[in-house]
């Protein structure tokens, strides 16, 4: 277990470092100073600004400062919002984005797995057909399109739900739905195919031959095995949900990290871009790390811990 | 064809394994069983009228080429035919006087694993890789008898010892991948026997194992049968296995039993040309190697099986009548029956 | 039993049967070539065929509508802004009076172009990288795979966004950014297929090396290994189309006055609550339908090309 975790952890740090470096050099490859387009194009003011943001130092020093900033988790002040530090933006935005993300994942996984399982159990039946049609459609509609359509229908025409912001559970329905539909469809399809495969396995036949109740066979015997491919794609899915929050937060005017990130991109607020990118990547890589561990727990064949008395 | 009266056996108490009675009490009668599968390509007639019976404490071997319907027959007895696409279109499976084909699923479950158990071919896939051996052993027990965890565990340890696994109490917490193939098959057998069933169906229990392990597992079967008096239906390609532990042998071809008799009768007086071919196609001690000859050709398409004898296309003695009409069953002795036109008076003297 | 139904059994039937007649029973299904077989299977898949026809239709419209339309994609006409669909403007107009119909098909051009280019470039990079990695094997393979492993862990769209910020937004930079991150999956698949091929070559070469081997490789093996690669390409297209629309929607891609489905959806955002449904509906409808078509076609190809499922 320890060895496995250490190895994964090392990979994780490496990936974050890679992204951080990439971000740093990409940002510095942009010609000109970030203050070029400011109204105060007075050279002295610019110089002072650059001094304040430590942009006048040689690149290696800046890089070292930057790495230090990452390690100490202090990304400095925002350029375009002088009253805000990157940290304070993250601190304000992250909890909301996290909430959106977690609810989305829960909705996507729970309903995706249920739908996929039902479809597999009624293989080639009406439920299967409907679920899979829904799934292909769900995969095909981009989340930001779905979001705008949902607003137009449920907030615009029907006026059932609020169109924006993140205040009450009612406000959360549309954004979550828009963000969760795609991942849910992918999970449903994957669960179905892996469930169908698992249901033909001998151990399922054996469980039937024991006279077990169908519910026990599905839940205890089939589901855990069928979940393994689903866990493997969780990484890609999490990345998709994370980037999805950018557009969803923008569309629904949710004051999360994604909104600040998109704003920082649009007004070239480099410290915020860099800080958020590194934060996002670190968060994502950490989630992938967790997914790996979950996989290890689900599948006892992966040797997380060595036990005595193993044969073969 | 002979159609025997259904025997209704009233005794439902604990089986007694002593005395001659043992071989007489019929615990299973399969009558004219027919099973089909509906596929995209059409309807497969996998089993086309199988009739046999089984006595207490007896081992019946079912042999035949791949695809002849052995597994489907055994699944039908167990009530494990997936419906759809499968369907039992005709026949009865009378177990202890009750016709299982008329049972509801929930009633079937009360028999599955408790009275009738099954062992599958590949021990590598028959155990759930994500569950401990202990749970897989005890779950059947705990479903059928309302007993405590501790009692179940005691019984599980007892079973593991019976099938020859040492350190059972530690082994219970391990996962299948921590066992070798032979050990896994022992565990599968332990699972099948833990509720002390009256009938055990073993579908090629040794095919996936290497020869030495095979012998060990067969000995285990014999030993267990002696101890518990369980009746066994043993499905196999391997006539060596049959020679070792079967009492009677049924030979299947294209969804029908074409010859059935005691082990002695089948091995020394095989009558059906297919049975003869089958015996000639396996190495035996009393035959020199060069005499081995596999049966030429392939079994017929079960989407459209012939009306007459299905072996006609491959049979060296085929007559005009053979593929027109199915041969009547001929009883050669009390237990030896064969479906072949060669037994007809009119065919005598045709070949010699 | 039933088959005995009082059939009269004639004595003359009891004579040995003419043997040769029976050989006819073993009719073997004519073995079609891999591609013909795959095509036969694909044709049976109604949804995949529908997807394919829609894509052909889309391509034709994307090429010709912007050419023959009386309106220019970028032509503004403020007096007739935000007009609902009518005989003059089939899909209505936007806030600058631009013709949504023309813009929609122009958007189709962009989407298809981005999707196809991304798939093609991924394919070439993937073939080269995966080919070298699989062919060389050993240490080279190990290192190249480690690199891929690390790259695989990167959040792609995030990297693409960064690249777009740095390179500035244009169609070319979108394609470059997408392929910089996108080739990894293809390289993995190519490597796997190359390993399979190599294995096979090795086996046959050590047995007997005749003219037959190359024929087998060409006729059976190459098609088999191409299958997964083609499927991967078909599935790259919709994800590239999505990425382009996503970036344009965030203001990082194509920008007005030029049209892409993402841009059009973004422009429609402020007015969706004011009843101008056509502004959002048409780009939304076509992007979803296009992705749907590629997805079902990809699924169909996957089934048709899967060697495991071949009967
Ligand atoms: N679920 C199913 N759907 C369609 N056809 C089936 C199904 N199960 C079995 N069959 C068909 O029934 C026939 C008999 O199969 P069965 O598994 O009983 O053969 P078998 O004698 O056990 O062969 P083997 O020795 O290979 O195990 C085969 O032709 C098979 O194709
Ligand atoms: S019935 Fe005819 S074809 Fe069939 S086994 Fe007997 S002789 Fe051969
Ligand atoms: Mg079988």
Question: pLDDT, tens digit, for every residue of C270-299?
Answer: 777 777 778 888 888 999 999 999 988 988
Say if A220 falls within a structural domain.
yes
Separation of A201 CA from ligand 1 center, angstroms? Answer: 15
- 3-state secondary structure (DSSP) of residue A296: helix
Instruction: Name every chain B residue with its beta carbon within 8 A of the beta carbon of C44.
Output: none
Determine the length of chain A: 312
Average predicted confidence (pLDDT) for chain C = 78
Q: Does B2 touch chain C (CB under 8 A)?
A: no
Is the separation of the CB atoms in A182 and A145 below 8 Å? no
Say if A197 falls within a structural domain.
yes
- The alpha-carbon gap from A227 to the nearest alpha carbon of chain B, in Å, equals 11
**pLDDT for residue A14 is more than 90:** no
**pLDDT for residue B275 is more than 70:** yes
β-sheet with B26-39: strand ranges across: B42-55, B26-39, B86-95, B98-99
Say if C196 falls within a structural domain.
yes
In testing the pocket of ligand 1, which one of B42, B43, B46 has its CB within 8 Å of the most ligand atoms? B46
Q: Who surrounds ion ligand 3 at CB < 5 A?
A: B 71
Instruction: Name every chain C residue with its beta carbon within 8 A of the beta carbon of B308.
Output: 3
| Domain CATH code at residue C59 | 1.10.3720.10
Would you state the pLDDT for residue B328?
80
Joined together, the tokens standing for residue B221 give 């079967």
Q: Where do we find the tokens 């009256």? A: B198
Would you state the pLDDT for residue C1?
43
Say if C11 falls within a structural domain.
no
Average predicted confidence (pLDDT) for chain B = 81
Say if A170 falls within a structural domain.
yes
- The alpha-carbon gap from A213 to the nearest alpha carbon of chain B, in Å, equals 8
CA pair distance B92, A206, nearest whole angstrom: 23
Say if A77 falls within a structural domain.
no
What pLDDT, in 10s, does the model give residues B221-252? Answer: 888 888 888 899 999 887 877 888 888 999 99
Nearest atom of ligand 2 to the alpha carbon of B310: 4
Cβ of B347 within 8 Å of Cβ of C14? The answer is yes
Say if A52 falls within a structural domain.
no
Would you state the pLDDT for residue C25?
44
Say if C260 falls within a structural domain.
yes
Instruction: Note down the domain range covering A118.
Output: 93-264
| Residue of A2 and C260 predicted with greater confidence | C260
What pLDDT, in 10s, does the model give residues C148-166? Answer: 877 777 778 888 888 888 8
Say if C310 falls within a structural domain.
no
- Closest ligand relative to B236 C-alpha: 1
Say if C2 falls within a structural domain.
no
B182-214 as b/e, with b when 16 or more CB fall inside 10 Å?
A: bbbbbbbbbbbbbbbbbbbbbbbbbebbeeebb
Number of structural domains in chain A: 1
**pLDDT for residue B18 is more than 60:** no
Would you state the pLDDT for residue A114?
93
- The alpha-carbon gap from C258 to the nearest alpha carbon of chain B, in Å, equals 51
pLDDT level of residue A68 (50, 70, 90 thresholds) = confident
Alpha helices in A122-158 (DSSP H): 126-140, 143-150
For atom 31 of ligand 1, the residue with the nearest CA is B67
Q: Is the CB of B305 under 6 A from ligand 1?
A: no
From B300, B320, B325, residue closest to C17, measured CB to CB: B320
Closest listed residue to residue A295, CA positions, set A234, A240, A249, A246: A234
Say if C152 falls within a structural domain.
yes
Say if C21 falls within a structural domain.
no
B 271-310 → C contacts, CB under 8 A: 297-298, 300, 307-308
Pairing of strands B59-63, B248-253: parallel
- Closest ligand relative to B85 C-alpha: 1
CA pair distance A126, A118, nearest whole angstrom: 11
Would you state the pLDDT for residue C308?
57
Q: Does C36 touch chain A (CB under 8 A)?
A: no
**pLDDT for residue A305 is more than 70:** no
Would you state the pLDDT for residue C37?
79
Instruction: Note down the domain range covering C241.
Output: 44-69+92-305
Ligand 2, residues at Cβ distance < 6 Å: B 272-273, 309, 311-312, 315, 317-319, 322, 327, 340-342
Across A6-10, A218-222, A278-282, B275-279, the highest mean pLDDT is recorded for: A218-222
Cβ of A152 within 8 Å of Cβ of C273? The answer is yes
What pLDDT, in 10s, does the model give residues A26-54? Answer: 877 776 556 655 555 566 666 666 666 66
Say if C132 falls within a structural domain.
yes
CA pair distance B307, B320, nearest whole angstrom: 13
**pLDDT for residue C18 is more than 80:** no
Q: Does A156 touch chain C (CB under 8 A)?
A: yes
| Domain CATH code at residue A148 | 1.10.3720.10
**pLDDT for residue B260 is more than 80:** yes
Cβ of C14 within 8 Å of Cβ of B322? The answer is no
Joined together, the tokens standing for residue B222 give 């014999």
Q: What's B317's DSSP letter?
A: T
| ipTM field | 0.80
Number of structural domains in chain C: 1
CA pair distance B196, B117, nearest whole angstrom: 9
CA pair distance B107, C191, nearest whole angstrom: 53
Count of CB atoms situated within 10 Å of the CB of A26: 18
What pLDDT, in 10s, does the model give residues C224-270? Answer: 678 888 888 888 898 898 888 888 888 888 776 778 888 888 888 77
Q: What's B200's DSSP letter?
A: E
Would you state the pLDDT for residue A263?
85
**pLDDT for residue C41 is more than 60:** yes
Widest CA span of chain A, in angstroms?
Answer: 84
pLDDT level of residue B314 (50, 70, 90 thresholds) = confident
Would you state the pLDDT for residue C26?
44
Say if A181 falls within a structural domain.
yes
What pLDDT, in 10s, does the model give residues A87-120? Answer: 888 888 889 999 999 999 999 999 999 999 999 9
Say if A28 falls within a structural domain.
no
Would you state the pLDDT for residue C72?
72
What pLDDT, in 10s, does the model give residues C73-126? Answer: 776 777 777 777 777 777 777 777 778 788 888 888 888 899 999 999 999 999
What pLDDT, in 10s, does the model give residues C124-150? Answer: 999 889 888 888 888 888 888 888 877
Joined together, the tokens standing for residue C106 give 């122009």
Joined together, the tokens standing for residue A138 give 């769900």
For atom 30 of ligand 1, the residue with the nearest CA is B67
Mean pLDDT to the nearest integer, B59-80: 88
- The alpha-carbon gap from A274 to the nearest alpha carbon of chain C, in Å, equals 9
Determine the length of chain B: 352
Say if A162 falls within a structural domain.
yes
In testing the pocket of ligand 2, which one of B295, B322, B325 has its CB within 8 Å of the most ligand atoms? B322
């Amino acid at each position: 277990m320890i060895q496995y975790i250490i190895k994964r952890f090392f990979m994780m740090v490496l990936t974050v470092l890679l992204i951080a470096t990439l971000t740093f050099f990409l940002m510095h490859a942009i010609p000109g100073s970030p203050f070029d387009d400011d109204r105060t194009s007075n050279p002295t003011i610019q110089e002072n600004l650059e001094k304040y943001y430590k942009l006048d130092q040689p690149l290696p020093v800046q890089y070292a400062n930057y790495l230090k900033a990452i390690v100490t988790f202090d990304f400095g002040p925002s350029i375009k919002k002088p009253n805000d530090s990157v940290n304070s933006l993250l601190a304000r935005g992250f909890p909301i984005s996290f909430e959106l993300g977690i609810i989305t994942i829960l909705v996507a996984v729970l309903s995706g797995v249920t739908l996929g399982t039902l479809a597999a159990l009624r293989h080639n039946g009406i439920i299967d057909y409907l679920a899979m049609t829904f799934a292909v459609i769900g995969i095909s509609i981009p989340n930001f399109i779905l979001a705008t359509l949902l607003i137009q229908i449920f907030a615009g025409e029907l006026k059932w739900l609020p169109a924006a912001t993140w205040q009450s559970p009612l406000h959360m329905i549309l954004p979550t739905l828009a963000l969760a539909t795609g991942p849910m469809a992918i999970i449903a399809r994957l669960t179905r195919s892996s469930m169908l495969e698992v249901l033909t396995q001998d151990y399922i036949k054996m469980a039937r031959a024991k006279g077990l109740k169908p519910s026990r066979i599905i839940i205890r015997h089939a589901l855990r095995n069928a979940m393994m491919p689903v866990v493997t794609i969780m990484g890609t899915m999490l990345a998709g949900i994370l980037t999805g929050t950018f557009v969803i937060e923008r569309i629904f005017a949710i004051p999360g990290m994604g909104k600040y990130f998109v704003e920082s991109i649009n007004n070239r607020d480099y410290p915020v871009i860099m800080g958020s990118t590194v934060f996002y990547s670190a968060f994502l890589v950490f989630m992938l790390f967790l997914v790996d561990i979950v996989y290890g727990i689900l599948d006892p064949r992966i040797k997380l811990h060595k036990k005595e008395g193993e044969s073969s | 064809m002979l159609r025997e009266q259904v025997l209704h056996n009233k005794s439902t108490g604990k089986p007694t394994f002593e005395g001659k009675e043992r071989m007489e009490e019929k615990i299973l009668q399969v009558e004219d069983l027919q099973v089909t599968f509906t596929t995209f390509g059409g309807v497969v007639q996998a089993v086309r009228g199988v009739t046999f019976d089984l006595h207490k404490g007896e081992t019946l071997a079912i042999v035949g080429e791949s695809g002849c319907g052995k597994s489907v027959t055994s699944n039908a007895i167990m009530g494990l035919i997936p419906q759809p696409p499968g369907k039992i279109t005709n026949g009865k499976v009378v177990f202890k006087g009750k016709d299982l084909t008329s049972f509801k699923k929930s009633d079937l479950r009360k028999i599955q694993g408790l009275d009738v158990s099954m062992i599958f071919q590949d021990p590598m896939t028959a155990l759930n890789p994500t569950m401990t051996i202990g749970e897989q052993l005890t779950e059947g027990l705990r479903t059928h008898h309302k007993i405590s965890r501790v009692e179940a565990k005691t019984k599980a340890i007892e079973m593991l010892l019976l099938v020859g696994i040492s350190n059972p109490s530690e082994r219970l917490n391990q996962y299948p991948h921590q066992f070798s193939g032979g050990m896994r098959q022992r565990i599968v057998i332990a699972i099948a026997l833990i509720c002390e069933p009256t009938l055990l169906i073993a579908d090629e229990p040794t095919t996936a194992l290497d020869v030495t392990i095979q012998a060990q597992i067969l000995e285990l079967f014999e030993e267990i049968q002696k101890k518990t008096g369980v009746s066994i239906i043993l499905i196999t390609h391997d006539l060596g296995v049959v020679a070792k532990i079967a009492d009677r042998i049924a030979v299947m071809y294209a969804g029908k039993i074409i010859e059935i008799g005691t082990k002695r009768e089948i091995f020394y007086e095989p009558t059906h040309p297919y049975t003869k071919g089958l015996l000639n196609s396996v190495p035996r001690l009393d035959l020199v190697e060069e005499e081995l000859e596999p049966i030429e050709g392939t079994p017929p398409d079960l989407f459209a099986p012939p009306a007459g004898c299905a072996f006609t296309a491959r049979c060296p003695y085929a007559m005009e009548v053979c593929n027109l009409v199915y041969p009547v069953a001929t009883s050669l002795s009390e237990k030896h029956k064969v479906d072949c036109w060669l037994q007809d008076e009119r065919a005598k003297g045709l070949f010699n | 039993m039933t088959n005995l139904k009082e059939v009269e059994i004639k004595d003359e039937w009891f004579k040995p049967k003419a043997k040769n007649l029976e050989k006819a029973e073993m009719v073997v299904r004519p073995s079609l070539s891999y591609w013909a077989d795959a095509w036969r299977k694909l044709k049976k898949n109604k949804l995949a065929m529908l997807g394919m026809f829609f894509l052909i239709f889309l391509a034709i419209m994307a090429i010709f509508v912007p050419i023959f339309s009386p309106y220019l994609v970028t032509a503004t006409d403020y007096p007739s802004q935000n007009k609902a669909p009518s005989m003059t403007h089939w899909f209505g107009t936007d806030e600058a009076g631009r013709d949504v119909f023309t813009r929609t098909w122009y958007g189709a051009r962009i989407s298809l172009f981005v999707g196809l280019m991304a798939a093609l470039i991924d394919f070439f990079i993937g073939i080269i990288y995966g080919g070298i990695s699989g062919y060389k094997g050993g240490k080279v393979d190990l290192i190249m795979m480690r690199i891929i492993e690390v790259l695989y862990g990167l959040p792609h769209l995030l990297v693409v966004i960064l690249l777009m910020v740095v390179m500035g937004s244009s169609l070319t930079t979108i394609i470059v950014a997408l392929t910089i991150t996108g080739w990894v999956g293809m390289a993995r698949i190519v490597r796997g297929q190359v390993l399979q091929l190599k294995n096979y070559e090795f086996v046959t070469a050590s047995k007997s090396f005749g003219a037959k081997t190359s024929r087998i490789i060409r006729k059976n093996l190459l098609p088999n290994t191409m299958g997964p690669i083609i499927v991967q390409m078909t599935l790259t297209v919709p994800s590239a189309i999505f990425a382009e629309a996503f970036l344009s929607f965030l203001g990082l891609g194509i920008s007005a006055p030029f049209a892409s489905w993402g841009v059009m959806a973004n422009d429609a955002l402020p007015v969706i609550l004011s009843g101008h449904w056509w502004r959002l509906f048409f780009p939304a409808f076509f992007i979803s339908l296009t992705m749907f078509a590629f997805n079902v076609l990809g699924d169909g190809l996957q089934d048709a090309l899967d060697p495991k499922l071949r009967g």
